[in-house]
């Protein structure tokens, strides 16, 4: 490979804002750093892209190393490239977000040793974060808030079978406002992307609610359509 390219003292990294929903709370995954700079600080999970891997691959790899999770819906949302965002050199970071299904199991097993631990933290209760990670988080949160308004990404966060009330709670948390129960149900059911199951919620000490499933097929039909601008 020729190298007409100028030499450049720089690094690419990936940072991930990984959302989960649990206990009626929206959470993100934070790690405690075990390396300078910002040793012992909380940070978004992220690491350096390797020389011979694509950034999408790096994002998947890093998420896997930190959580053991694969095949997660992940999307790039912004690239942060201020000169001084990293105290040790020029690091441009590509931020991804992911939404994962907690299903009650919240244990996280960091593999890489640059992390002491990884925990789920409510977005309403975040500690101070290393680097410009607060900025990155904020932008990622805006992104999903925005996106959920026109695409039902919420399903990524819920267990496979869920109640309408859970779905509504999730919308409320992300949009940060109360929604009307009847209107919410009407709208969701009208989309026709929910499959009503013959099952009910279990283990609750009150009337059990019906469970629903997300119907991916019908979803794609509905939302692949062009955005409308009437005729």
Binding site for a second copy (CB under 8 A): 1-12, 36, 48-49, 51-56, 58, 76, 78-79, 81-83, 86-92, 94, 145-146, 149-150, 171, 175, 177-180, 183, 187, 226-231
State how far the Cα of 20 lies from the Cα of 9, in Å rounded to an integer. Answer: 36
186 binds DNA (CB under 7 A): yes
Axis crossing angle, helix 164-175 with helix 181-191, rounded to the nearest 10: 110
CB-CB contact of 125 with 5 (8 Å)? no
Q: Got the DSSP string for 131-162?
A: TTHHHHHHHHHHHHHHHHTTS-GGGGGS-SSB
Q: Which of the choices a second copy, DNA, none does residue 105 contact, using the CB cut-off of 5 to 8 A by kind?
A: none
Q: How many of the chain's residues bind DNA (CB under 7 A)? A: 22
For residue 200, what are its two tokens? 């009910």
180 binds DNA (CB under 7 A): yes
Q: Which of the choices DNA, a second copy, none does residue 111 contact, using the CB cut-off of 5 to 8 A by kind?
A: none
Q: Which of the choices DNA, a second copy, none does residue 12 contact, using the CB cut-off of 5 to 8 A by kind?
A: a second copy
State the minimum distance, in angstroms, from the CB of residue 61 to DNA.
38
CB-CB contact of 40 with 101 (8 Å)? no
- Piece of 41-49, 106-114, 133-141, 160-168 that binds DNA (CB under 7 A): 160-168
Q: Hey, which residues between 54 and 73 contact DNA (CB under 7 A)?
A: none
Taking CB under 7 A as the criterion, the residue among 48, 119, 197, 208 binding DNA is 208
**Rounded to 5°, angle at Cα 117 from 116 and 123:** 135
Q: Which of the choices a second copy, DNA, none does residue 125 contact, using the CB cut-off of 5 to 8 A by kind?
A: none
Taking CB under 7 A as the criterion, the residue among 88, 128, 205, 224 binding DNA is 205
Q: Which of the choices DNA, a second copy, none does residue 107 contact, using the CB cut-off of 5 to 8 A by kind?
A: none
Axis crossing angle, helix 133-148 with helix 164-175, rounded to the nearest 10: 130
CB-CB contact of 170 with 158 (8 Å)? yes
State how far the Cα of 211 lies from the Cα of 197, in Å rounded to an integer. Answer: 6
> What single DSSP character describes residue 211?
E
Q: Footprint of DNA on this chain (CB under 7 A)?
A: 163-165, 180-183, 185-187, 190, 204-210, 228-231
């Amino acid at each position: 490979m020729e190298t007409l390219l100028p030499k450049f003292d720089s690094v690419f990294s990936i940072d991930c804002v990984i959302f989960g929903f649990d206990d009626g709370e929206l959470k993100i995954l934070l790690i405690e750093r075990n390396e300078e700079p910002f040793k012992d600080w909380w940070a978004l999970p992220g690491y350096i892209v390797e020389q011979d891997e694509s950034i999408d691959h790096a994002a998947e790899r890093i998420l896997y190393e930190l959580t053991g999770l694969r095949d997660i819906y992940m999307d790039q949302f912004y690239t942060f490239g201020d000169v001084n965002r990293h105290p040790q050199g020029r690091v441009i970071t590509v931020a991804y977000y992911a939404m994962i299904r907690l299903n009650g199991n919240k244990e996280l097993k960091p593999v890489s040793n640059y992390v002491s631990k990884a925990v789920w933290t409510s977005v309403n209760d975040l500690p101070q974060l290393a680097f410009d990670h607060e900025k990155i988080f904020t932008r990622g949160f805006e992104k999903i808030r925005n996106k959920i308004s026109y695409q039902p990404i919420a399903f990524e966060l819920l267990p496979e079978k869920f109640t309408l009330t859970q779905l509504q709670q999730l919308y409320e948390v992300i949009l940060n406002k109360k929604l009307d129960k009847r209107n919410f149900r009407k709208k969701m059911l009208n989309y026709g992307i929910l499959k009503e199951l013959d099952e009910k919620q279990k283990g609750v000490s009150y009337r059990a609610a019906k469970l629903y499933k997300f119907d991916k097929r019908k979803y794609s039909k509905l939302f692949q359509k062009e955005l409308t601008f009437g005729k």
